[in-house]
Chains A and B, each alone.
Chain A
């Protein structure tokens, strides 16, 4: 079965600094989701990447998909306290009739 490994498991950065979170799949990635979760709450959709080499940005968050390496990265520029939370990557379904397989998440703390 497919597994996703996220690194680092947790991250503490000073406000204003840049950071990167990585997600590596054990199998071919047909697509990749990034979600954010605040502690004890539901998941907020950030971005979906479907093609190798695809890169998407939303505000200060950029995500890329490297199909060959079976990896995705999420980069935050000039981090803010509002960026704190758990970032989850999820492998998209091989076909449309399937579930998302999630990594364990990266816990991000922002120091003021």
Chain B
């Protein structure tokens, strides 16, 4: 069990550029979640997948954001035409659906700074 991994760990970009983040979940986990965390706040839900299907998207996820999980394994989160307000920590979590409340395990996050 290598845990959830995220790449890159840090990204600095200029306003208007596109960025893409990757998340590799724990291997047997079929659910994958994306959260965003700004300074002094708790993580806020963005979207989640079960296998390759995207089942829910938050209103926080504007049209500039898109997430994919093409083969039900890793996922990518793309932000187009970045804005300074997109600066945040982007966290990925994974879990395995079971009979009771599931535990979500988080990756180290990708910290985005938009200049």
Contact = CB atoms under 8 A, between A and B. Distances in A.
B55 A41 contact: no
- A interface secondary structure, majority: loop
Given A42-B91, A102-B43, A104-B40, A96 B102 contact: yes
Interface residues of A, number: 27
B48 interface: yes
Interface residues of B, number: 31
Nearest to B4: A42
A92 B6 CA distance: 24
Contacts of A98: 56
A88 interface: yes
Interface string A48-63: 1010000000000000
Given A96-B101, A99-B33, A99-B56, A105 B106 contact: no
B42 A104 contact: yes
B104 A41 contact: no
Given A43-B91, A48-B101, A101 B109 contact: no
Interface of B: 4, 6, 33, 35, 40-45, 48, 50, 55-56, 58, 89, 91, 93, 97-98, 100-109, 111
Interface of A: 4, 30-31, 33, 35, 40-45, 48, 50, 88, 90, 92-93, 96-105
